[in-house]
Amino acid sequence: MNTIVCPHCKKPVEISEALADQFKEQEMEKITAQHHKELEAAKREALESSTKKIEEQFALQLKRAKEESEDKDARNKQLIEQITELTKELRQSKKEKDEAKLEMQKQLAIEEDKIRLDAQKKAEEEQHLKIMAKDKQLQDTLKELEDARRKLQQGSQQTQGEVFELEFEKMLQQEFPNDKITPVGKGVKGGDIIQEVWDSRGNFNGKILWELKNTTTWKEDWITKLKNDQRTITADESVLISEVLPKDIATAGFRNGVWVTKRTFVIGLASALRAKLIQLYYVKASTQGKNEKVELLYSYLSGVEFKHRVEAIIEAFSNMQTEIEKEKRYFSNKWARDEKNIRMVIDNTYGMHGDLKGIMGTILPTVKGLELDAGEE
């Protein structure tokens, strides 16, 4: 910007370069015009002296104008340089500020990531500890539940065994009202139930010792224990009842001097053993002094044939029980199968009676229902 002196207020006024040039031109025109007027006047006074003086003044004014123009150019150049330097400094400052801001953002991001990772790690550790605590609680709870289940199962098995023992006592009393059924107290050696066999005439025929098991595995030492208990109470027969039997016995059988059977076959086996004891009693009573027949009868009763007879009766009874359970699904064929099974029981019973009669002859007591009519003979 250039400054000029206001001709009216005599104060410097800033003007643009173009306007300054315009003012200069106008000023030059004014000066020229004035010089011309002065020259004209000087001409009138003294042409030579005035002309020289006017030229000197004009040269001086031109020099001043040139100096002012050079000074103005220098100031403008300096101002441009200052503006350029300031712009450069501003750009550098802005660049440094942006770089500092970016670096600060990077540091903040790094710190945030570090804080986030630390917080995540801490949360994971806390969560891991919580999970471990819950796992421990779960394991403890499962262990307590398993212990409770085991105790409950043991109690349930014991309860089921006691219930079946009571039911079995009732069944024996109902099936054999003449017999004396005595439960063995807990903690007392001698099995679970003692059945004293009495016939309809009031004669004591012998004892049957019953042992009931309610477990899921078979133990061979049960046989040895029951045989010892049988000797202790001097029982004639001993029977072990268990739902789990040895692999070589499907339903019932004779094993090392002890009868082994499942629950569903106990009544059939009890009937056969009871009949055996009654017949042995009458054989002993009727064969005093007849050692030969006694030995034959003993050989028969303790032999394989009698065992097979009893097992056949038990199997027939088992088939009857099975068919009765299936009668709802196979009602149309029920009577034919029952008749076949009953016929098997009857035939084996007649066969056993015939075997005994062939050995003992007419001394064998008459069993109602097993003797043939005169016409059948």
CA–CA separation, 114 and 123 (whole Å): 14
Largest CA distance in the chain: 209
Positive or negative: CA dihedral 84, 89, 90, 94: positive
DSSP 184: P
Q: Which residues of the chain have pLDDT under 50?
A: 155-157, 373-377
Please report the pLDDT score of residue 204 as a whole number: 92
CA–CA separation, 278 and 269 (whole Å): 14
CA–CA separation, 316 and 338 (whole Å): 10
Backbone φ and ψ for 202, nearest 5 degrees, come out as 85, 20
CA–CA separation, 354 and 345 (whole Å): 14
CA–CA separation, 318 and 69 (whole Å): 141
The strand order across the sheet containing 180-183 reads 180-183, 193-198, 204-212, 237-241, 258-261, 252-255
CA–CA separation, 227 and 127 (whole Å): 62
**In this structure, are residues 356 and 364 in contact, taking their beta carbons and an 8 Å threshold?**
yes
**In this structure, are residues 246 and 256 in contact, taking their beta carbons and an 8 Å threshold?**
no
**In this structure, are residues 249 and 255 in contact, taking their beta carbons and an 8 Å threshold?**
yes
CA–CA separation, 352 and 312 (whole Å): 11
- Which residues are CB-neighbours of 289 under 8 A, at least 6 positions away? none
CA dihedral 25, 31, 36, 41 (to 10 degrees): 170
Please report the pLDDT score of residue 376 as a whole number: 46
Residue in the structure block whose two tokens are 């028969």: 300
Secondary structure E strands in the chain: 2-5, 12-15, 180-183, 193-198, 204-212, 237-241, 252-255, 258-261
Question: Tokens at residue 59, please?
Answer: 């040269």
Helices and strands of the chain, counted as H and E runs: 6, 8
- Which residues are CB-neighbours of 286 under 8 A, at least 6 positions away? 360, 363
CA–CA separation, 181 and 178 (whole Å): 10
The helix/strand/coil state of 247 is: coil
Please give the model's pTM, rounded to 2 decimal places. 0.41
Residue in the structure block whose two tokens are 């034919």: 336
